[in-house]
Structure formats: structure tokens, C-alpha cells
A and B are shown apart, each in its own frame.
Chain A
Amino acid sequence: MARLAPVRLRDVSCAVLAVLLAAVPLPAGAQDFQQRKPDPSPAAPKPPVLTRAPRIKKNVDPVYPAEALAAGISADVTLQIDIDADGHVTAAQVKKPAGQGFDEAAAAAATEIEFEPAEIDGKPGPIRIEYTIHFVPKQALPQAPEPASAAPVPLAPAPVLAPPVAADVVVIRGRIREKGTRDPVAGADVALSRTAGSAAAAAAPASEVVATTDADGRFEVRGAPGGRARLLISAGDHETCIRDIDLPAAGAPPIDLQCIVDRRRGGPRYETVVQAPREGEEVTRHSLSRAELTTVPGTFGDPLRVIQNLPGVARMPYGLGLLVIRGASPQDSGVYVDGHKVPLLYHFAVGPSVLTPALIDRIDFYPGGFGVRYGRATAGVVDVTTRTDPVARVHGSADINFLDSSAYVEGPLPGGVSGSAAARRSYIDVLLPLVIPQRQGSATVIATPVYWDYQTRATKELGRYGRLSLFIFGSHDSIDVVSSDPARGDVNVGTDIGFHRVIAAWAISAGGWTSRLSPSYGYDSFGLSAGKIGGQFAAHVLGLREELSRKLSSSLRLVTGLDGELRFDGLDFEAPLPLERRTYGRTMRPITHLQRTLANSGAAAYVEALWDPHPHLRLVPGLRFDWFDYSATDKTSFDPRIVMRWTPRDTFALKLGAGVFHQPPLPQQLDAQFGNPRLRLMWADQYHVGVEQGFTAAVSLDATVYYLRRHDMALASARTDLATGAPERYASAGRGRAYGLELRLKHAVTHNFYGWISYTLSRSEVIGRVPEPGAPAPDFRPTQFDQTHNLSFVASRTFGAWEVGARFRLVSGIPETPLAGSTFDGDFNSYEPRSGAPFSVRRQTFHQLDGRVERTFTFDVWRFSIFLDLQNVYNAENPEATIYDYRYRKSAPVRGLPILPILGLRGRF
């Protein structure tokens, strides 16, 4: 087979490079200081965009190793080149060596090359590219004969794209798509190389870029008909498609060429790291890219569980899906999906999150100091943004593991609508009876846990009228335990929890304003039945958000919005409520039918300015006003917040923030009969100082020091107003404080690796007891999940079709209240433990290694993966609780989850 001239191949490489740089969107995960991806809201900050690819300004020819040339050896050397904002090559590293002197020659030449710098958002910026130099001995070339020489063979300077050959007729039409996904490969260069002998070949260069594939991967090659040629379709991160073809004769129809190419092993051919001014309004935000969302070991591929590996989040025993952020109760943090609150993120216990990973575009986690668009929370915020990008083709996936199965499909619908749908159901209820032996005549226990969820989305582009989207999703968990025992009687205990949400959004930009209007409706339910006890809680939740933003000047943007929520809670309970009288021991509790209907509403208005008084300084002052009408009590709050961000250079940022945050007590705490309507709003003041430092294009450090105080927390109270006989039940007497340091050293997602080290040094304390007359004033004590040190290592690397990951965690033991002995209560026939100082001792340090291995098989039109997620690789005991004997004299630890392998299968098309 005839070889192509090195000069021309080099041309192709450079051209491909140039085109790719301009065409390939930046992977969000590759960004150093994470920026938001395009937000469904037009008001959202615009992500950095590569507006101009780097171009070779001064090329330097490498020296062909003499011995290799003499031996007729050809080689390809792939380099990773870092180019600074001035176009100078700051580093050149051999990524795919060839040996025999080729590597040194290529690297030496690369460091001398000068570029016209890349431009990001119209400004010169640093970039990393992958660059391949092809060494081919000239004597092997069929064309461009030049005298062979032992001297070094110079390579030609980088070309300017040549005009197509005699672009008179279309000789080839084709399309190139990616293997496995069937995604079109856009921006690929199509090069044609005429075989010697034809008239056209004599008139044309040996090889040249003649076309570029469009967004749908399609291309046309125009030129002179007839003759034989080689077609090369090359995209930076895909294998090259090479076809030797006979061009059609004059008058004949063009050749239809379909090419399916594999993504290059190791992922994209190059990456770029952009460090651009941040648009955000918070001191600390951790954004997770899609790659990080589904492959962190120990999370079972669950995006939302990844949050628990970030700084500021306490480790939960047994992997429970509770979010304890900086020591605050889970209900003090807000969980949003597309800007609307949802009641839960996870299915029961260690179940998966309630959203299918394929639908999640981004997760932003704010451990504190969040902007004024979020409210009714005093701790942290998790904001899940689902995908709204238009879908051009049908794609789908199916996952199977031993807990559940799920399926997802997306595709275009009539009328310019993009749609997607997903569903999941567990089958533990089917499998459990198979593994639990049941003997006739003896006690039997049947547990039937079931969870399911669904999501469906439709998005329609309205052109100048913006974008309309509708997202409907829901989740349901139930567990029934039926115990049949001839001696003890039959027990039937069941509970279920579920929710449904309909979220609509209309985003539009007009007249300099951008607007996002989003109404929502939700239905929450919770049921419980246990023998004669039964209850059903249901809530209808109406939400409305509107956010408007406008750029008032080159340095000032104004954002304002409304955030309203109206809840109708209904409670219907059959419960054996004890009468309000003193008894000493178990007594008859009449079954009481309790009905409650509550209308709780909250409305907020907020305004925020993004002001850049200096090119390196951003100030974000904001103010939020909230009005609450909970359990027929009116309350209002003002939350001023401010963030300053100083970025003296691209790789460094200093962040300062302070703010006030309010949230109402729980509705039941405000209930007139079972709570205290006089409770005040709980509030917190938070202070943050943070830095971001970029070390390399991919490695960065984010550090935050914080201090916060919590006030007017609702505490259970045993005080009674003796004048009226009214028990207080709850009092706004709780206080809390937390301070600490949060670090995240992160390696962004690159072509084959990502990882981070997160470390939290913290102290979280609370005054959790109502002062009693005559008793010493209660003092601060550690909160239930106070963890002094919390260290996590997360890393994942691809090796071709294999992906291997590991997670290691080392966490201080949580505080415990020591119990030593007890007092027997002769009236109640029970032992009352003698407690030491509350939370004064700590449980054993937690340490655990998790691993994950995934193998992907890529076929032409679909991909298949099999993965093993192995929790607790070395089977650490990790006591998670302490149990005591009936007299509290002996204790025993309750170990954590043992080694737990989860095998899963996944198919995607």
C-alpha cells in the first residue's frame, strides 16, 4: 500500500487540530474552576467558550533520527502541549512514545513551536492540546519524490487549508458516526488523497482537507470525477476512518459512504482547561460533572451519593442518604430539583437516588453561603439541574443490578419537541422470600420493600420566544413487614412515602432582559400502618419561581426574583394517644382519630447584583425578603448576603462571604395543640473566607474557612405555664455554632483520570436543651454527627475499555453519650440508663476502602458495560452504633456494612 507523504499527513493533523479546537465544546469536567454549564435559565452565567483555536505561527521541523531513517522506520509520536496565553509552548510531554529517538526529536521541536494563542470568550487564554507528529521516511513515499538523504528530514510548516480540488461535482456523500453511541462526529476533517496515475491526481495535491463534517456528521466531497483515491476522515478524539475508493465516473451518482469509528482509547485526543472569571454568587460551590456523578466507587453509580464525598458533608452510617451539612439537621438544608424543593433525594435506606442519572445534567452543592435565590434553609443547598438540551436522536439505556432495574430513553418528538422518559423498580420484594426460609407452623416474617420512580421530560425550542420545558417525576417507597407468630400474635407493619412533581419552565430573553418563569405542582404522601395504628399524611405543594436578570452596564448585572410556595397539608391519623394524665406504667390508650388540615405558605422576593468594580474584583450583594404563614402564624425575615471575589490572576481567587439565612420551624412544631405557635424563625449567620488556587491545567485546590451560628432553634420543652396549665412543648431556645476548614484538591476530569482529595476539619456544637428553673444553664455540646476529621480520596482511571476506581475514607468517630449502669424503675418495669455527659465520648474512627471496576464493550450501535462496585474492600468492622444489655451494664458495637459487592449491567444505545 502506498504511503502518504509525511508533509501531507502532518497537514491533516494540524488542520484537524485547528478545526477541532474550534468545534468541540469544552467538557465541563475539564474546567479547573468549575463553571456552570449552560443553564436552562437565560439568567444563568454564561459558560466560557473557546472562541478561537490556537494556530501555528512559527513551525519548527523535528529532526528525523538518522538510524531510524536509515532503517526506513516510520513512527507517530503524540505529545501533550501546554500553550500559554501568549502562544508560547510552556510544556511538551510525550503521551504516546515511539522510541528510537523519535520522542526526543518530537519534544524538542514542539517546545520551539509558536502559536497564535487560543481565545476564550474572545480573550487569549491558556490551553492544552494533544499533537501528533508523523515521521515517515521519504523514500517510502509514492509521491513527492525527493532524494533520500541520511540528513534529518525536515517536515513542512503547518499549512493553511488548501482549497478543494476542482470543486465542480459531488463525488462522495457520507456520514461519520461514533461507534456505540451512533452520535454524529461533527467537525471531522475529510481529506482526499488521489492515487497516482489519473489526470485528477496529477493536478491535485497528494492529500488535502476537502470538507468538514457538519453537526450531523455529514459531509460532501466535491472534485473531479474518476480515478482512485483514499479518503481519510479524522476527528481529534476518534479513530480515523480510512477508505480506498474508486471515484465515480463523470455523470455517475456520488458514492454514499457511511463510516462508524470508535472513540480513541483513553478518551478525547486533547483537553482544554479554561480559567475564566466566575459568574457565581457564592463562596463555596462544588459542581460535579457527569463523569464524576456515576463512577465514584461506593456510590453504586448514584450521582447524588457522590455529594457525600464532598467537604462539609458528614459521613452517614450505613450509607444512609441523609445530608448533614456542617453539623446541621437534614431538614435545615434544601434539596432542589430545577429550582424547586423536593422532600427526599434517596429511596429507603441504602437505596438509590430518586432521579435517573441520565437525566441529571449537573449537581451544584453549596455547603453554606449560598445566594439569595435559595431560601427557607439555614445550612446547605443541593441543586440538581436536569438536562434540557435538545435531543436529535433516539438514545437509551438499561441498567440491571440485584436491587433494581431501570430504563431510560430519549429522542426527538413531533413538533420540534425533545422528550425523555425513565423508570425504575426494585425487586427486593420478589427476591427476599426466596432467601428467607419459611417453616410451616413456626413464626414467619415477610418483608416486602418496594421502591420505584419515574421521570419524563419534554422540551420545546420556541425560537425567539425562548424555550419551554415540562418535567414530571415521582418516587415511591414502601415496606411491609408481616410477622405471623402463634405465640406472640401477628404483626403487620407497613409504611410508604412518595412524591410527585410537575415542573414547568419557560425561559426567554427579550429587550435585554432574561426571564425564567417556573410554576410547579407537587404531591407528597406518607403513610404508616402498624396493627391498629394507621395514618396518612398528604400535601399538595404549589410553587412559583420567576427570575429576571439584566445587564445594566459592562460591569453590573442585576438579578431579581420571586420564590413562592403554598402547601396544603392534610393529616389523618388513627393512633392510640395516651390521655393527658399521669400514669405509672403502660395503660390503655384509646384509639384517637386525629385530623389536621394546614395551609402553609411562604413567599420571597430577592434581588442580587453582580458588580465588577474592577476587572479582578466581583462583588455580589443580595437581599432576600421572606414571608411565612405557617400554621396560621405570620412571620417575616430579611436576609442580607454578600460575596466578594478577587481574582488577581487566572490561577488564583480569594473569596469572602457573609450572610443571614432564615427558615421556619416545622409545621408540626407550630401546631397549636401539639406544638407551639409562638416559636420564632430559626436563623443563622454565616461567614466564609476561601481561596482557589490552580496548580496545573487540571489540578486545583479549593479551601474555605467558615464560621456560622444558629439561633432560635426549636427544642423540645417540658416547661409548663402553671397559670394556664399549658405545656410549652417547644421553645426557640436552641443555639448552635460550627466552624472549620474545608479543602478539596481536585484533578479535573481529563481524558482518562479524575479524582479528588477532600478534607474537612470541623467542629459543630449545639445547645440542645431548654434551660430549666434552678438547673445550671446548658452549655454547648457536639452535635450528633460532629466529625472532627473527614478525609476522602476518590480516584478513577480508564485503561482502554476498563475503568478502575477507588475511594478511601477516614473519618473521626461521631460523638456518643456514655451509658454506665441503670436504675430499675419498679413501676414501669424498665431500666433507665445513667447517662454521662451528652456526646462526650467518640465512637471508633471510621475507615473504609471501596472499589469499582467497569468494563465497556462497544458495538457498532450500542455499548454494554458490566461493573462491580465493591464496598468495604477489606471488610473493616467500623462500629456504627452501640447496643446495650437490658441493664446497660454490657455493650456491644453494631458493625457497619460488611464487604458488599454490587454487580451491575448496563446497556446504552
Chain B
Amino acid sequence: MKTRVCWLFAVLTAGCGADFDDISQIKDLRILAITAEPAEILLPERIDVKDILARDFAKLPADYPQVKVHALVVHPAAEGREVSWRLLACSNSRPRGRNGMNMGPGRASDSIMRGPCPADAIEVGRGTAVFADKEAAIAATLLPTREAIAASYLSDPLGAVYDSLPITLQLEVVMGGASAVAVKRVIVSPRLSPEQKPNANPVLSGLLWRRTRDEKPIPLDPDQPPVVAPGEKLYFQPGTAEREPYDATVLDSATFTTRIEHVTAETLRFAFFATAGGFSPPQRDTEPSVLLDKGPDFIETTWRAPKDALPVGGRVDIWVVTRDERAGSSALRTAVIVRQ
């Protein structure tokens, strides 16, 4: 522990003055989100890991819903340009050991593959799209099959232990010399209770804003965006979104037996992006930070307008991507005007 403290101290004292890009500012080709509909495929009953090891997949249903995949791919200055894309799918095949900070390695979170798909990933689709109004519309359809689900369980038997089998989708986009790669997951879960529904992508009702902290936040109307002076600050808060309850399988690390926990409200996270200026912090969530001495509903972020002049119109596009903790996501777009 002292080693880490020393390193932290050393880095802090030495300073990290590199002039890197702001993660919340869209300056080039970016994939901001990938949304699957439905976000979760429910199996009628639990899959026993012993059945997987015995390659007995009789419990797997024959038919599965189609999964529509949409990607939010943005570029601030690529109007009319074409982008080519390819969508791959792969199993959670290589859970890699991570020297996590979560009280040692070998925890459930360490069993989720975090990198790109391996070379033997299956191509789901490919095509081209044209940027219009800073976005490129990319859509594809995943057709899960019994064989594919069974293969995924074979690659990731812990999916049966934790009752959560992720199928990883990988999107690659290329535009000229620029490229971006992103992954997201479609979750296959057994129904743990009769009333359980598949996870729904969280939908944000809108964005609230205020100029000063003394004001009451008001909804932001995309048709009448607020006008700010260069360098001025605005405060934004996400609107409302449903925080679904759900059941989850939990492993008792002392007895290595599983139990079903009921989660009363899932955690939502909000990531903020803008074509100019920057958000600080760039992400908020509905759970209180364990480090901050603030209330759980403090999900406000600060956007500072650029000090330099913007192109004609002074429009700054803003996206807010909302995510839940079960691979559900959606995006909301709005704007502000910077006075020229």
C-alpha cells in the first residue's frame, strides 16, 4: 500500500502537465454509444454449469429475439462524408485476470472480457453510412441462435454461475485515415423470478440547466437553446429516467454458494459530450460517490463555453449518453448557442 501512496505522491508532486484532449469534447471521429434493442435476452430457466461441462444444452430455447443494434457515431466536421463500418460478435471467451482494486483478484468483475474480440469473431454485418448533422446512422441486426448461445456458454461457463452471459459486439468504423473501435454487450440471463422483465434501455427525459447555482434548474428546450457568452459556465443536470428493479445472482465468496439478490433500483450513469467547450466532470451517476461528501442526487455537471469564436451560428451540439449497469444505453442530443 505504501508503494501506491508513494507513487501517487510522486506523480502528484511531479505534475502531469500534458495538454491532452478533453474526453468530453468531440473533436474528431468518435463512437459515443452502441445501443442494442433488446438490451437483454431472457432465458426461461437457469443453466447449470454442470450441464455446460457435460455439453447438455437442452434447457436452451430454440428461438431468440432479433437484436437491433444502433451506434452513435459522431464527427464535428464530416458533413456528407462516408464512413465504413463492420460489426463483429464474440463470446466472453478469455476472461483475463486483472489485478483489480476490488479486494484482490478473481472477483466476478474480473471475469468480464474488457478488450476487443479475438480474431475468430463472427461478422454480424458491414456497410457504409454518411455523416449528416454530425452523426452517422449505423444499424445492424444480431440474430442469436441456440448454437451460438451454447458456444458462448462453453467459452464462458461462469456465465452460468453468475446467471449473466455477455455476448460481445464489436463495431469498427473507418473514415479516411481515421478509425474507431468500440465494444458493447448483449446480456443473456435466465429468468430468476416470474415477474422479471428483460432489461430496458434507460431513456432520459431531457436535460435541465441553470446559469448559476442560485437558480432553479429548468428543462432545456432543444428548439430554443440557451445562449451563453464565450467562456461562460452553464450547469446541467440529467432529467429523469427509470431506474429498474431486477434480480441478480450473487456468489458468496466465503461459502462459494449463490443466492438471488433483489436490486431495487439500478444505477444510471450519464456521460456528457459537446462539440466545443468541456464538461467537468464528464460523467455523473445516480449513486453517491464513496469519496464525496455530497448527497446521492448531486448529478450536476458544469459546462464551460469556449473562449474562442465558433463557426457561424455559434451552435454547440451536446450529447448525453445514459447507461445502466446491465449494458443498456440510450443517447439524448441537444444544443447551446455561444454568442459570437
Contact = CB atoms under 8 A, between A and B. Distances in A.
Interface of A: 317-318, 320-322, 330, 344, 348-350, 479, 486-493, 495, 497, 526, 528, 530-533, 575-589, 591, 668, 672-675, 716-720, 722, 724-730, 769-770, 772, 775, 821-829, 832, 834, 880-881, 883-887, 890, 892, 894-897
Interface in B69-127: 94-99, 102-112, 114-116
Interface string B3-26: 101110111011110101101000
Give the 10 A-B residue pairs with the shortest CB-CB distance, closest first: A727-B106, A892-B18, A718-B97, A489-B294, A489-B292, A716-B105, A826-B184, A729-B106, A885-B20, A531-B291
A584 B14 contact: no
B21 A886 contact: yes
B104 to A, nearest CB: 4
B300 A582 contact: no
Contacts of A533: 290-291
A894 B8 CA distance: 13
B289 A717 contact: no
B94 A772 contact: yes
Contacts of B327: 584-585, 827
B290 A530 contact: yes
Contacts of A821: 181
B293 A492 contact: yes
Interface residues of B, number: 94
17 contacts: A581-B164, A581-B251, A582-B109, A583-B326, A584-B327, A586-B325, A674-B103, A716-B97, A728-B106, A775-B94, A822-B181, A824-B180, A885-B18, A886-B20, A886-B21, A894-B14, A894-B16
Contact of B291 (A322, A493, A675): A493
Given A489-B292, A490-B292, A584-B187, A718 B182 contact: no
- Which residue of A528, A577, A716 has the most chain B CB atoms within 10 A of its CB atom? A716
A349 B3 CA distance: 9
A86 to B, nearest CB: 56
A531 B166 CA distance: 33
Contact of B289 (A489, A772, A890): A489
B295 to A, nearest CB: 9
Contacts of B215: none
Interface of B: 1-3, 5-7, 9-11, 13-16, 18, 20-21, 23, 31, 33-34, 49, 53, 94-99, 102-112, 114-116, 157-158, 161-162, 164, 166, 170, 180-185, 187, 213, 248-254, 256-258, 261, 263, 266-267, 269, 271, 280-281, 283, 285, 287, 289-294, 298, 300, 302, 321, 323-327, 329
B250 A581 contact: yes
Given A578-B107, A587-B287, A826 B183 contact: yes
Nearest to A580: B251
Contacts of A886: 20-21, 23
B18 A491 contact: no
A263 B234 CA distance: 73
A824 B252 CA distance: 31
Contacts of B18: 883, 885, 890, 892
B14 A895 contact: yes
A825 B294 contact: no
A191 to B, nearest CB: 59
Contact of B290 (A587, A589, A674, A827): A589
B284 to A, nearest CB: 10
B201 to A, nearest CB: 12
Contact of B105 (A586, A672, A718): A718
Contact of B10 (A588, A832, A880, A883): A880
A488 B300 CA distance: 8
A889 to B, nearest CB: 9
B285 A586 contact: yes
Contacts of A894: 11, 14-16
A823 B181 contact: yes
Contacts of B292: 488-491, 531
Given A675-B104, A718-B96, A825-B182, A348 B9 contact: yes
Contact of A584 (B99, B112, B158, B289): B112
A577 B181 CA distance: 31
Contacts of A489: 289, 292-294, 298
Contacts of A824: 31, 180-183
A825 B326 contact: no
Given A729-B106, A823-B183, 12 more contacts: A487-B280, A487-B300, A531-B290, A577-B103, A581-B164, A586-B287, A587-B287, A675-B104, A725-B49, A824-B183, A832-B116, A894-B11
A140 B99 CA distance: 86
Contacts of B14: 318, 880-881, 894-897
Contacts of A330: 3
B331 to A, nearest CB: 11
Contacts of A718: 95-98, 105-106, 110-111
Contact of B102 (A350, A578, A825, A885): A578
Contacts of A488: 280-281, 292
Contacts of A775: 94
Contact of B114 (A532, A729, A772, A825): A825
B294 to A, nearest CB: 4
Given A318-B14, A726-B256, A883-B18, A582 B162 contact: yes
Contacts of B110: 718
A727 B20 contact: no
Contacts of B267: 585-588
A443 to B, nearest CB: 11
Contacts of B263: 588
Nearest to B115: A832
Contact of A827 (B23, B253, B283, B323): B323
B5 A531 contact: no
A822 B7 CA distance: 24
Contacts of A479: 5, 9
B111 A582 contact: yes
B208 to A, nearest CB: 15
A892 B20 contact: yes
A225 to B, nearest CB: 71
A587 B182 CA distance: 21
B106 A585 contact: no
B2 to A, nearest CB: 6
Contacts of B249: 581
- Which residue of A584, A730, A772, A829 has the most chain B CB atoms within 10 A of its CB atom? A584
B182 A770 contact: no
A575 B103 CA distance: 10
Contacts of B329: 826-827
Contacts of A317: 10
Given A581-B164, A585-B269, A722 B290 contact: no
Contacts of A884: 20
A440 to B, nearest CB: 15
Contacts of B157: 722
Contacts of B53: 722
Contacts of A492: 293
Contacts of B289: 489, 531
Contacts of B21: 885-887, 890
Contacts of B105: 716-718, 727, 729-730
Contacts of B95: 718
A887 B178 CA distance: 13
A491 B99 CA distance: 26
B102 A584 contact: no
Given A489-B289, A492-B293, A587 B300 contact: no
Given A589-B290, A829-B323, A582 B108 contact: yes
Contacts of A493: 291
Nearest to A825: B183
Contacts of B187: 584
Nearest to A584: B327
Nearest to A330: B3
A717 B97 contact: yes
A668 B271 CA distance: 37
B95 to A, nearest CB: 6
